[in-house]
Amino acid sequence: MNNYADNPSAAILIIGNEILSGRTLDTNTQTISKSLGDFGITVFETRTVPDDKQAIIEATVALSKKYDYLFTTGGIGPTHDDITSLAISEAFGVAYSRNEVIYDVLCKFYESRGEAMNKAREKMAFIPEGSFLIQNEVSKVPGFAINNVYCLAGVPDIMKSMLDFVIPLLKHGRVVKSLTHTVMIGESKIAERFEALQNKYKAVDMGSYPFVKNGIHGTSLVLRSSDYEALDKAFLELTSVII
């Protein structure tokens, strides 16, 4: 991953016991990685931690220091196991306090449905002091950003809507383009030629992904680069030497 080292870097922190127990398959990582990639922001690391305040704080501090952006998902709802806002407040040493903009939105929303405010609903207005609000088109409750950390919902469609709101506000890089050459040859037969090509085109990242289809071994050879000229040249050569 050297040829796009100048691009903004990002990490993803998935928060939730349901991912670690295997109850829920995490698809947010793929959605975020793809979406950021479309704007030249490169994801270098992801972590998943339980709904445990200390674990969230440690991962947040480590990842926000190491990368330009950190995206978290999960733990910003109204129930007792939603502790992301509190943990992020403590991670940055700022107050965990009621945001009056969110509180007003919530009050009006529940009033319009003839429902009362309660402690759990009010909890959703508590975020780290000084945060920037992240709107979404799906639910009434915004996410928030503080420093370089963007805290999104865990529910995939709400998460995606928040991500779409955030991405235009970030620094973009040069998009890494990808070209795939798929052959019905096992990878151990083509590995040496593929490595020689990698050594020739240092500006292109080359990955080999084996699969089996109808009992026959095949390989997807994936070339990725933000240097489009080098990418095209390398791909042309790849498709002529490995057929």
Tokens at 172, concatenated: 């973009």
- Residues 106 and 116: their CA atoms lie apart, in Å, by 10
Counting residues that bind its own copies (by CB under 8 A) gives: 65
Candidate residues 5, 30, 104, 171; the one interacting with its own copies per rule CB under 8 A: 30
Tokens 């970030």, residue located: 170
As a whole number of angstroms, the distance between CA 103 and CA 106 comes to 5
Compute how many other C-beta atoms are within 10 angstroms of the C-beta atom of residue 6. 11
Any contact of residue 31 with its own copies (CB under 8 A)?
yes
Minimum distance of its own copies from residue 19's CB (angstroms): 7
> What binding mask, one character per residue, do residues 134-173 give for its own copies by CB under 8 A, x or -?
---------------------x------------------
Helix (H) or strand (E) holding 181: strand 177-183
The verdict on 194 binding its own copies (CB under 8 A) reads yes
Q: Which two tokens stand for residue 41?
A: 């922001």
What is the spatial distance between Cα 116 and Cα 138, in angstroms, rounded to a whole number? 21
Rounded to a whole number of angstroms, the minimum distance from the CB of residue 233 to its own copies is 19
Give 7 or 146: the residue with its C-beta nearer to its own copies.
Answer: 7
Q: Given the rule CB under 8 A, which of 86-94, 96-104, 142-150, 193-201 is the region that contacts its own copies?
A: 193-201
User: Do residues 13 and 72 touch, judged by C-beta distance below 8 A?
Assistant: yes
x/- map, 98-137, its own copies, by CB under 8 A: --------------------xxxx-xx-------------
Among 54, 135, 182, 188, binds its own copies (CB under 8 A): 188
Residues 45, 68, 129, 232: which binds its own copies (CB under 8 A)?
45
The answer to whether 48 and 26 have CB atoms below 8 angstroms apart is yes
Question: Does the protein bind its own copies through residue 34 (CB under 8 A)?
Answer: yes
Asked if 44 is part of the footprint of its own copies (rule: CB under 8 A), the reply reads yes
Burial 43-73 (b: 16+ CB within 10 A, else e): beebbbbebeeebbbebbebbbeebbbbbbb
In the bound complex, what is the minimum distance in angstroms from residue 160's beta carbon to its own copies?
13
Residue 231: C-alpha distances to residues 33, 41, 147, 197, 240 (Å): 21, 18, 35, 11, 14
> Which residues bind to its own copies, rule: CB under 8 A?
1, 16-27, 29-35, 37, 42-52, 55, 77-82, 118-121, 123-124, 155, 176, 178, 187-189, 191-192, 194-195, 198, 205-211, 222, 224
